[in-house]
Amino acid sequence: MKRIGISLFAALMATVCFANTADVLQQAWLKGTTDKAPVFYEPGETMAFTIEPQGIEGKMPEGKYFLNWERTGDDGVSEKGREPFTGKPFTYKTSIAKPGFVRLYAVVEDADGKPFKKKPPEFKGDPSTPEGKRALKRLKNKKLTVFFDGGAGAAIDTLRQAAPEPADFDAFWARQKAELAKVPFNARRVEAKCCNKDVCLYALSVDCTGGMPMTGYLSIPKAAESGKKYGIKIQACGYGYHDYGPIAPKNPEADAIRLYLDTHGVLLPEFGGTSEYYKAHGEKIRSNGYTYAFDPQQNSNPETAYFRGMILRMMRAIQYAKSLPEWNGKDLHVYGGSQGGAFAIWAAGCGEGVTSIRSSITGFCDVGAELAGRLRGPWPRIKYVEALGYFDPVNFAKRIPASCYVDIARAGLGDYTCQPSGLAILWNTLKCPKRIVWVQGSEHGYVPPEYEGRDTVRSQDAGNAESGMDR
């Protein structure tokens, strides 16, 4: 009995000690910085990274945790290491011999090599509702590890896209626009529920070529009924398809005419869309086992590529919005992130008169990056085929006029869903007023807490001369 008691006591004490050491890291994160602004190195120049733990609550136990780090880059060089994690700063020095980016990833792990994970926050929503499903998905995707994922670039202003632009790029899109022009709007509106008493909200469907209509939610300020005119703001969503269907915005602002575009053009619930319909359509848009837009066979012909229909629906959204009598005739803004960021670039470069865009973590830039051996992440890796050049946002960026302002609101130095080299090439291609915010330690869906030196902001005027920089 005495032995059992002692063993039980020891087990309980071990549990308490484990809980205490875990609590030490529950609020922890890794702050990464470089010895100079991370996008202004030269080839061969030493890049000095410092990873400094933040948010540690208490004394770190000795020998329990380690920092596992890996350096990769556009030069194909790889280095790895493992250091005792004591809570003190870790410094790593490297360089890259050619123009491009270095990536440094580090994560706190235990002695067995398993990444430490924080306790997940409690979910208090209703997972049976579309809003609850989205909230639960966000919670499941929340970063629970203690990590740093960032990098630095050398001579990035000299980077250019790897694959040449299709010779008939303009001719191809002229044919698509001519086909679209043959289709009348035939717009249908159904009033939708709205929490903002100053706005009228409508479910919208407008005929379009490309296989599907243009659909989404349209909000118009009620003050327009008395003759007041407004600018237009069009929002495009990121990559994905939801089996539960589109969700109407609950509280659209009354500052503009707003169009929340459904990039797939599905039947909205207000027009009879059901869960069965959305599930069936989700299967329909898959191709040869690939999720939408990823099938290389489908992408080998620009006429059958899924991106074609998406861009045509964006064009139709702009055309329809400009036809509204409530528009002020001058302000036309498009915004989105990831796939939505690509939509914003497509919109600005398609010749429909967009005046400004905000394109964050822009997707699909430099689709032929693998041809130059540049570093890319495991997802989404669209296999390169030549026809993808008709949809590369970089090729649309070349056609954005000087009258349009482009804000690349976030470019993550640890984002290898939309890799830094693609964002740098997008920036280099733009010949209009522009701004880009490079965020150290930012992955595609993660931005580290605010701290001095996290962001590197660059801006240029229409003459392509540097007009502002925060290093």
Tens digit of each residue's pLDDT, the chain (471 residues): 344 444 444 444 444 444 455 689 999 999 999 999 999 999 999 999 999 999 999 899 999 999 999 999 999 999 999 999 999 999 999 999 999 999 999 999 999 999 999 987 766 666 665 655 565 565 556 679 999 999 999 999 999 999 999 999 999 999 999 999 999 999 999 999 999 999 999 999 999 999 999 999 999 999 999 999 999 999 999 999 988 899 999 999 999 999 999 999 999 999 999 999 999 999 999 999 999 999 999 999 999 999 999 999 999 999 999 999 999 999 999 999 999 999 999 999 999 999 999 999 999 999 999 999 998 876 667 899 999 999 999 999 999 999 999 999 999 999 999 999 999 999 999 999 999 999 999 999 999 987 777 899 999 986 655 644 443
Same domain for 327 and 272:
yes
Give the neighbor-by-neighbor strand order of the sheet with 79-84.
79-84, 65-73, 100-110, 147-154
DSSP H or E segment with residue 29: strand 29-34
Same domain for 417 and 331:
yes
pTM score: 0.91
Residue bearing tokens 């060089």: 77
**Chain centroid offset of residue 250 CA:** 23
Domain-terminating residue out of 157, 192, 209 = 157
Same domain for 442 and 305:
yes
In a domain, 215, yes or no: yes
Identify the CATH number of the domain in which residue 235 sits: 3.40.50.1820
Same domain for 175 and 298:
yes
Q: Which residues of 217-227 are buried (b: 16+ CB within 10 A; e: fewer)?
A: bbbbbeebeee
In a domain, 198, yes or no: yes
Phi first, then psi: what are they for 140, rounded to 5°?
-65, -30
Same domain for 186 and 122:
no
In a domain, 164, yes or no: no
In a domain, 12, yes or no: no
DSSP H or E segment with residue 260: strand 257-262
Same domain for 382 and 287:
yes
Same domain for 187 and 46:
no
CB atoms within 10 A of CB 133: 17
CB atoms within 10 A of CB 329: 9
Domain of 135 in residue numbering reads as: 24-157
Domain-terminating residue out of 123, 157, 191 = 157
Residue bearing tokens 């139709």: 316
**265 near 208, Cβ under 8 Å?**
yes
Same domain for 252 and 371:
yes
Intra-chain end-to-end CA distance of the chain, in Å: 67
Same domain for 43 and 146:
yes
List Cβ neighbours of 414 (8 Å cut-off, separation of 6 or more). 103, 105, 148, 149, 150, 151, 441, 442, 443
Identify the CATH number of the domain in which residue 140 sits: 2.60.40.1930
Same domain for 433 and 359:
yes
Question: How far apart are the C-alpha atoms of 279 and 26, rounded to whole Å?
Answer: 38
In a domain, 6, yes or no: no
Question: How far apart are the C-alpha atoms of 32 and 151, rounded to whole Å?
Answer: 9
Task: Say which amino acid occupies 216.
Answer: G
List Cβ neighbours of 227 (8 Å cut-off, separation of 6 or more). none
**104 near 148, Cβ under 8 Å?**
yes
In a domain, 162, yes or no: no
Same domain for 153 and 180:
no
Question: How far apart are the C-alpha atoms of 158 and 226, rounded to whole Å?
Answer: 52
Token code pair at residue 130:
């579309």
Question: How far apart are the C-alpha atoms of 155 and 137, rounded to whole Å?
Answer: 38
Give which of 185, 265, 252, 241 is closest to 218, Cα–Cα. 252
Q: State the Rg of the chain over Cα.
A: 25
Token code pair at residue 467:
């007009």
In a domain, 264, yes or no: yes
In a domain, 19, yes or no: no
Burial of 380 (0-12, 13-18, 19+ CB in 10 A): middle
Domain-terminating residue out of 157, 191, 224 = 157
**442 near 414, Cβ under 8 Å?**
yes
Same domain for 215 and 265:
yes
- At 5 the pLDDT is 44
Domain count, the chain: 2
Question: How far apart are the C-alpha atoms of 229 and 142, rounded to whole Å?
Answer: 41
